[in-house]
């Protein structure tokens, strides 16, 4: 996305400011802090279009969402949970209910990330081809 901003905007300073703004929006609406289950309904569309949502979900579910054997971290029972959560909740269940990140969606999330990379590449090529900020 940074390369796209450099070619899309007239100078590097503007690209840096817009990049910081887009990164901030990406971090805020990636579904981690605040958790995806607590996002206001008016901002769910930002959660859906943010590429960071899918990278955080893919990496988190690889580490914490797998529960194929008893020794996996996802199968571990959480202790000292707040009263709003069930008593015997596992790490995998907590990830699914609070952050809306499912282990079964790893390939979908990875595919969406590949699509984002390709889209940003195509948009960068169009910006390189059709935008010119040089003055004659």
**Residue 37 contacts residue 94 (beta carbons within 8 Å):** no
Nearest CA among 118, 117, 123 for reference residue 8: 123
Domain of 94, in residue numbers: 2-130
As a whole number, mean pLDDT of residues 53-79 equals: 89
Binned at pLDDT 50, 70 and 90, residue 127 comes out as: very high
Is 119 part of any domain? yes
Given this model, what pLDDT does residue 72 score?
Answer: 84
Q: Which DSSP string corresponds to 3-71? A: HHHHHHSSSHHHHHHHHHHHHHHHHHTSSTTTTGGGS-GGGHHHHHH-HHHHHHHHHHHHHHS--SSTT
Question: 83: cis peptide before it, omega within 30°?
Answer: no
- The domain total for the chain is 1
Is 101 part of any domain? yes
Is 106 part of any domain? yes
Angle between helices 51-64 and 106-130 (to 10 degrees): 150
Is 135 part of any domain? no
Is 136 part of any domain? no
This prediction has a pTM of: 0.85
Is 13 part of any domain? yes
Is 124 part of any domain? yes
Among the ranges given (13-17, 69-73, 129-133), the one the predictor scored with the smallest mean pLDDT: 69-73
Between CA 35 and CA 56 the distance in angstroms is 12
Give residue-wise pLDDT tens across range 84-116: 888 889 999 999 999 999 999 999 999 999 999
């Amino acid at each position: 996305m940074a390369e796209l901003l450099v070619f899309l905007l007239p100078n590097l300073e503007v690209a840096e400011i817009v990049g910081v703004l887009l990164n901030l929006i990406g971090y805020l609406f990636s579904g981690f802090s605040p958790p995806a289950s607590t996002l206001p309904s008016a901002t769910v569309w930002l959660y859906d279009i943010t590429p960071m949502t899918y990278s955080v979900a893919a990496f988190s579910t690889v580490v914490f969402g797998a529960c194929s054997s008893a020794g996996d971290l996802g199968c571990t029972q959480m202790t000292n949970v707040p009263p709003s959560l069930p008593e015997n909740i596992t790490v995998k269940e907590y990830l699914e209910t609070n952050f809306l990140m499912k282990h079964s969606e790893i390939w979908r999330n990875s595919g969406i990330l590949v699509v984002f990379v390709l889209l940003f590449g195509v948009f960068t090529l169009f910006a390189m081809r059709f935008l010119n900020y040089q003055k004659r």
